[in-house]
Amino acid sequence: MVYEMPETVRVMQQHRSIRSFTDQPVADETFQEIIRAAQRAPSSHHVQAYSIVRVIDPEKRATLARIAGGQQYVSEAPIFLVFVADFWKHEHICIEEDSDFQIDETENVLVGTVDAALAAQNALTAAESFGLGGVMIGGIRNHPHDVRDCLNLPRYTFPVMGLCLGYAAEVPEQKPRLPLETILHTDTYCEKPFIESRKAYDEEMTHYYKTRSANQKELSWSQQMSDYFAKVRRPAVTAFLAEQGFALK
Ligand SMILES: Cc1cc2nc3c(=O)[nH]c(=O)nc-3n(C[C@H](O)[C@H](O)[C@H](O)COP(=O)(O)O)c2cc1C
């Protein structure tokens, strides 16, 4: 059977995060198409609960790079976008329409986060289809209050992630993923494939970290994950969400 890989799937399977960019600017038409593609992402109940803030001001870029823990590419990328979960619009409608605004359920935080994330992933895939590269930036949630103040985000909004985009200055090796059988289950969740293949995946990841062209290190995936989950990550997020109007009930 002659099988031709669809171009979109090829682009998605070629993904690697890009953290170093050339000075080549991104044409405005290209940027507009990327945002149009982002906006075509499906949306729960068609609430479209997100906004995208393009950050151009170098001072704001520097502030966001600092908030993200000193990630220089937030300052340097030709394009930096912040994907914001946004229910301010819905509150506005409910006020204008003299209707109750029930936002207290945790479900709404999931809805806004998923909507923003789907739009961000669509933007990244669209950008990669144009030959650009990029990296998502969860580091902006280190200090969500500071992001809110920097971008003047209204109540009932919260920043979900940033996205750096531009032409890649270097194309890193692809990072190995978990074996397919550990993430794809049929009819019932099955722990066995993960338990059985963890050591082999650790070896694959250790080899990847040791031999990749940049930022080599001696680290297995299990070590990385146990270090990650040994620490509280972003304790300010819960209080911030409450301040923004989400009661998380
Ligand atoms: C929501 C989200 C937030 C992320 N935040 C960061 C970040 O702050 N800084 C960074 O360098 N990479 C960040 N990444 C990129 C991941 O580190 C990267 O996707 C992962 O290591 C897999 O590598 P790959 O994308 O090259 O395949 C983030 C990815 C996602 C999905």
Dist. CA 16 → ligand 1 center (Å): 9
Q: Whose CA is nearest to atom 18 of ligand 1?
A: 17
What's the pLDDT at 50?
98
What's the pLDDT at 1?
63
Q: Whose CA is nearest to atom 31 of ligand 1?
A: 136
Mutation to probe ligand 1, out of 136, 174, 215 (largest number of atoms < 8 A from CB): 136
Catalogue all structural domains in the chain, each as residue range(s) with its CATH number. Answer: 7-172 (3.40.109.10), 175-212+215-232 (no CATH)
The answer for residues whose C-beta is within 8 angstroms of residue 2's C-beta and 6 or more apart is none
The answer for residues whose C-beta is within 8 angstroms of residue 10's C-beta and 6 or more apart is none
Contact at 8 Å (CB) between 170 and 20?
yes
pLDDT in tens, the chain (249 residues): 678 999 999 999 999 999 999 999 999 999 999 999 999 999 999 999 999 999 999 999 999 999 999 999 999 999 999 999 999 999 999 999 999 999 999 999 999 999 999 999 999 999 999 999 999 999 999 999 999 999 999 999 999 999 999 999 999 999 999 999 999 999 999 999 999 999 999 999 999 999 999 999 999 999 999 999 999 999 999 999 999 999 999
Mutation to probe ligand 1, out of 17, 76, 83, 204 (largest number of atoms < 8 A from CB): 17
Q: What DSSP line would sit under 136-204, residue for residue?
A: EEGGGGGSHHHHHHHHT--TTEEEEEEEEEE-BS--PPPPPPPPHHHH--SSS--SHHHHHHHHHHHHH
What's the pLDDT at 2?
74
